[in-house]
Chain A
Amino acid sequence: MTDVSMTVNGEERTASVPPETTLLTVLRENFFLTGSKLGCDVGDCGACTVLVDGIPVNACLMLAGQAEGRDIVTIEGLANQDGMHPLQQAFENLASLQCGFCGPGVIISAKALLEENPDPSVDDIRDALSGNLCRCTGYTKMIEAVQDAARIMRGESADEAA
C-alpha cells in the first residue's frame, strides 16, 4: 500500500491504496467524489477530466501517487453556497447536456480554457473540448454555454450577441 495525500477541492485528503491505483479510482472510491466518471479507463473519452494544478488531466491515466502534494479540482469543487459556477448555470440554462455522463469532464475542460482565455472563439472552444467525447448532444449547445459563461465571467450579460 502507498499513502497518498493531496488537496482536493480545497481540502487536504489522504488515502492508503495499492500503488497501481489511479487518481480517478482514489477520487471515486476513497474520497467518494463520484462526479468524475469512468468512461473508458484508457484516456479516450475525457469523462474523468479533473484539474491538477490548474491543468486538465485524464484522471484515469494518472496514478494516485503522481498526484501526491498536488492541487486537484473536480466538478464537485465548482459550486459554492452562493450557487452554481457560471459554467454549470449556463449548461443548465441552455440544456447543453442530455444524459450528462460527459458533463463533469466537459465543464472541467471548459473551466481550464476560461481561466487561460476569458474570451475564446468558437474554434478555441472546439479545441478545448476535443478530448471530451459526447454521444448525445453534437456539442452545439455546450459551445454556446461556454460562450455565455465567458460573457458572465467577464461581467457582461449572457445574451449579448456573440
Chain B
Amino acid sequence: MKHRGKGIGCMWYPIGFTVAANPSAATVKVNEDGTATLLTGTVETGQGSLTVLGQIAAEELGISTEDVHVVSADTDATPMDTGAIASRTTYVTGNAIQLAAERAKNILFEVAAPMLGVRPDQLEARDRKIQVKGYPQSALPVGEVANHAQNGAGTPAIGSASYNPPTVAMDPETGQGKPFSTYVYATQIAEVEVDDETGEVQVIRIAAAHDCGTAINPMLVEGQVQGGISMGVGMALEEEMLFDDQGRQINPNLTNYIMPTSLDMPHIDVDIVENFDPTGPFGAKGVGEPTAVATSAAILNAVYDAVGVRVPNLPATSEKVLAAIKAKRNADPKRVSAS
C-alpha cells in the first residue's frame, strides 16, 4: 500500500568566508562606442555567473547587459579571483565588479560634468547616457563621454578594484568571531509517496522558498534551485559511493552509482524571497550550494510522516526504508503503518 506524507526542511548557509583571504579583483573599461569590457578571473560552469556579473557591471554603468563584453578565466589576461567555489561569485566577485565599474563611471562623471555645466555629483548613468539627475533631457551618450574621456580629457574611463570580505579573527580560546560575511536562508517542503511493500519512495512535489538577497537574474536563480534539488533528491534516496576493504570504489559508473533521472524528479515550485543585503552588489548574496541543503531533510521528514520510520543514514534506499518499516511492524505488530 502507498502512503503519502509531507515534510519540511530549513537551512541557513554562509556566503563570503572571512577566516582566510577570499579576494576577487576585476577591471572594467568603458569603450568609445558605449560598450564596456569586463575582466574577471572567475569561471563559468553553466550556472550563469558571467551573465549575472555582466548585469552588475551594466547596472552600475547605466548600459545594457548585451553592451558588456565579459572576458573571463584567462590567467594571462584576467585579474585574480579566489574561484567559482563556496557560492561566493555573485557576492564577492560581484562586489569587486561593482566597485571597478563605479570607478570607471566616476571618470565619466568627471569628464561629462563640464560638458553639461554641472558638478560630477549631480550626474547619474542611465539608459546608456550620462545625465543630470532630475533633468534627463540634459544628457550625453555614454560612448561620447568615453570618447571624450580618452581623446579630450586624457583620462580613459577604466576602473580596477578588488573585494575581500571584511575579516574578523576567530578567538582561538572560544572559537567566537565572524567566519562569514553574510548568510542566506531557505525552507523546502517535500511531498512523497512511500510503498510499504517495497520501501520505494517517490518524491511527488517540492516547494522551495529561498532567500538569496536581490535575485539579479531570477530565471538563473530558479535554475540553480531546481538543479540543487535534483542533487538533494539524489543525496536523500539514491547516491552513494561504495568501497571495498581495499578502499576501491565498487560502483564507479552510472549503472550502479544511481542519480536522479527525469522520472525521479518531482514537480518543483520555486519561491524566491527577495531580501536586500546592504553588503552585497545591488543587495545580492548567493544561491548555488544552499539549494541542495534542505532537500534531504524535507524528504526524510516526509517519509516519517508517511510511514512513521526514520532512516538515519543516507541515502534512504528502498532496502533501508523497507527494513525500517519491517522493524517497526515487528516491534508493533498491530500498527501496520502510521496512517
Contacts and interface: CB of A to CB of B under 8 A. Distances in A.
Interface of A: 40, 42, 44-45, 94-95, 97-100, 125-127, 129-143
A148 to B, nearest CB: 14
Nearest to B223: A95
Nearest to B224: A98
Given A40-B253, A45-B254, A98 B227 contact: yes
Given A40-B253, A44-B253, A137-B227, A100 B261 contact: no
B47 interface: yes
Q: How large is the interface on B (under 10, 10 to 19, 20 to 34, 35 or more residues)?
A: 20 to 34
A104 to B, nearest CB: 14
B259 A135 contact: yes
A117 to B, nearest CB: 16
B254 A40 contact: yes
Interface of B: 45-48, 219-220, 222-223, 226-231, 253-255, 259-263, 265, 268
A125 B265 CA distance: 12
A130 B226 contact: no
B227 A126 contact: no
B268 A140 contact: yes
A125 B262 contact: yes
Contacts of B261: 129-133
Contacts of A140: 222, 226, 265, 268
A138 B254 contact: no
B15 to A, nearest CB: 20
A137 B262 contact: no
A94 B263 contact: no
B219 A94 contact: yes
Contact of A98 (B46, B255, B262): B46
Nearest to A94: B219
Contacts of A44: 253-255
Nearest to A93: B219
